[in-house]
Amino acid sequence: MRTQIPEDVLDLVQRWLGLRLERDTAAYGNTGTTAGFRSDAGTWVRLQRRSVFSMNGQSWTGAECASVLQGVAKPELLRSVRWRDDDREAVWRADEMTLVDSAVISPNGSVTADPQLPDAWWSGLATSLAALSRHETERVGMRQEHVTRRIREVFGDGIETTIDEWRTAHADLHWGNLTAPTCHLLDWEDWGSGPRGLDAATLWGFSLGVPSLADRIQHEFSDELQSRSGTIAMLLFCANALRAATRTGRSMPFTEPARTAASGLMTQLDQ
């Protein structure tokens, strides 16, 4: 699914949803498990595929569960179809959503230049994240065990990583899941409870290649990021960035800035 979807799958989606997919608008996800199309009904249709051997209920129901969120700027779920594909040992779902006309800011998630977003955009993002944080859910976006394991794997076990404040979060907030000029939050597979400041910390991390942008995020979300939980969430991003670089041998624009930032964050946590 990185470059195309089988025609028989597209035919089923069109028949069951009663619309036509505009093939030339195809947008494929980075993981090879999702794709999206505009429809002739003026909506967006997002397809997901999972192997029957690796079904994950959290991601599979993300958009469906997010449909109850209030005060968050995101596509609205209209209807869905789901089916098992025995020939391919897979399950599929197609979600028809309201169309977001604004484009994603950076398809690969990180940036190398300041997107020059206006104050209204930042205000809209803050409003959405605040509304999301107040929503009560049993979904889990990030567990304490994951935070502790990743930070200690990279920086050792001398850091106290216990999160003392938990909030509901998008849990995958990078520049590929945000749109402009109007701010919408996309891709709700992972949302759930997480450390306070997790979303701001993640966006900060993906912005480290552009220092002025990373500074803007720290300013806009200072209350979240200056909390102990927010500081741990920033260190978690640094750990993940350095771990990924070690595993792949490939640096991203935020890799070396994350290495530098981690030293200061660990000092803060020691105080």
pLDDT digits (tens, 9 = 90+) for 165-222: 999 999 999 999 999 999 999 999 999 999 999 999 999 999 999 999 999 999 999 9
Residue pair 105/111 in contact (Cβ under 8 Å)? The answer is yes
Mean pLDDT check: name the lowest of 28-37, 75-84, 88-97, 170-179.
Answer: 28-37
What does the alpha-carbon distance between residue 49 and residue 27 come to, in Å, rounded to a whole number? 14
Q: Is the pLDDT of residue 2 over 90?
A: no
pTM of the model: 0.94
pLDDT of 180:
98
Burial 131-149 (b: 16+ CB within 10 A, else e): ebbebebebebbeeeebbe
pLDDT of 250:
94
Burial 245-255 (b: 16+ CB within 10 A, else e): beeeeeebbbb
7 pLDDT band, cuts 50/70/90, is: very high
1 pLDDT band, cuts 50/70/90, is: low
pLDDT of 39:
98
What does the alpha-carbon distance between residue 90 and residue 52 come to, in Å, rounded to a whole number? 5
Handedness of CA 226, 227, 230, 231 (dihedral sign): positive
What does the alpha-carbon distance between residue 137 and residue 131 come to, in Å, rounded to a whole number? 13
3 pLDDT band, cuts 50/70/90, is: confident
Mean pLDDT of the chain: 95
